[in-house]
Copies of this chain bind each other. A is one copy, B any other.
Amino acid sequence: MSTPMIAFAGSPLDRADHLRANPEGLQGLMNASARLLRLEGLDPVIAEDGTIAWGSLADADPASELVFLGVRDERGCFAEVQPSLLGNGAPAGPRSWEAMQLLGAEDLAMYGGARSLVGWHARHRYCAQCGASTKLAKGGWQRDCQSETCKAEHFPRTDPVTIMIVEHNDSLLLGRQPRFPAKSYSALAGFVEPGETIEEAVARETMEEAGVTVRDVHYIFCQPWPYPSSLMIGCHAYADDPAITVDETELEDARWFSRADVADALEAIERGEAGEAFQCPPRFAIAHMLMRWWVEQGK
């Protein structure tokens, strides 16, 4: 199976990891040809032609921290952690979400990676171990505790989340949270916890949220999701017993949808509409791509 186009994947930037620990190399890239990803806090600035806007390093707020995103066409690419982001949890503005509709695939991937990294800096000003302040290091891929007695090193966080389409009798188990739009259902999902595998997390979350036992969990594909920094790990599994017990603290409803229902919902959402039986997530969401994968499997 070839992997489909996944939103937020496929960044054309070379992360140029070897430059992060090379202050002279990094400094050498911070010249007149360097590009600064234009952000308003965590929101993208979108140019008139619909691409993400880039400026030069001279456009950066002198009070900002600069993070090194990578290299493209031999030009260093950077983003800034603006002072306005600090101390407020760096909430997402509406344009941060609209980016998915507005940007092309490569721009979306570059924006998503930058958004996760910049947001992490905004939320990690202090050392979790000792409470002292931290300082950006390695081009923004590390923060160092400034306390001489602690000196802890901190790294950007990526949180693995399982998201699963569970199948029984040619139907899929989908659930809806109270906050979802009317008629919307999506794949169940949950964070992988310390001490468990991906497959164990899929089984635990499906049992917790819907009371359904799964078998034969298989990884399908994954998606980096920058709200704020999840790695969505898409899986398929089978259930033998379709009886559902909804965990009402997490979900408003969970039910089985036939392959025809899912195919219909996938078609309808391309017109921005709900299907006959339910409304599925938009194509930017890995849940959508997993449903599409499953419908294709049945052909």
Bound Cα distance A204, B208 (Å): 36
Tell me whether A208 and B17 are in contact (CB under 8 A): yes
Residues of B within 8 A of A152 (CB): 89, 123
Counting CB contacts under 8 A, is A48 at the interface?
no
Bound Cα distance A156, B124 (Å): 15
Name the interface residues of A196-228: CB closer than 8 Å to any CB of B: 196-200, 204, 208, 219, 221-224, 226
Counting CB contacts under 8 A, is A112 at the interface?
yes
Tell me whether A197 and B226 are in contact (CB under 8 A): no
Residues of B within 8 A of A226 (CB): 194-195
Counting CB contacts under 8 A, is A27 at the interface?
no
Residues of B within 8 A of A139 (CB): none
Counting CB contacts under 8 A, is A98 at the interface?
no
> Quick one: CB contact mask for A122-160 with B, threshold 8 Å, 1 for yes?
011111111111100000010000000010101111111
Counting CB contacts under 8 A, is A60 at the interface?
no
Counting CB contacts under 8 A, is A9 at the interface?
yes
Given the interface pairs A199-B3, A247-B18, the reply to whether A128 lies near B124 with Cβ below 8 Å is yes
Counting CB contacts under 8 A, is A267 at the interface?
no
Counting CB contacts under 8 A, is A37 at the interface?
no
Bound Cα distance A208, B204 (Å): 36
Partner of A129 from the list B87, B157, B223 (CB cut-off 8 Å) is B87
In the complex, which residue of chain B has the Cβ closest to the Cβ of A114? Answer: B195
> Quick one: CB contact mask for A145-182 with B, threshold 8 Å, 1 for yes?
00000101011111110000000000000000000000
Which of A195, A219, A224, A233 has the most chain B CB atoms closer than 10 A to its own CB?
A195
Residues of B within 8 A of A123 (CB): 128-129, 152
Tell me whether B15 and A204 are in contact (CB under 8 A): yes
Tell me whether B208 and A195 are in contact (CB under 8 A): no
Q: What 9 A-B pairs come out closest when comparing CB atoms?
A: A113-B195, A116-B194, A126-B131, A219-B219, A124-B128, A160-B160, A128-B128, A9-B197, A194-B229
Q: A196-B224, A197-B223 are in contact. List 11 more A-B contacts (CB 8 A).
A: A87-B150, A89-B152, A113-B194, A123-B152, A125-B130, A156-B194, A158-B192, A194-B226, A195-B226, A198-B222, A219-B219
A and B contact pairs by CB, cutoff 8 A, 10 listed? A9-B196, A11-B200, A87-B150, A109-B195, A131-B133, A155-B191, A158-B160, A160-B231, A194-B226, A194-B229
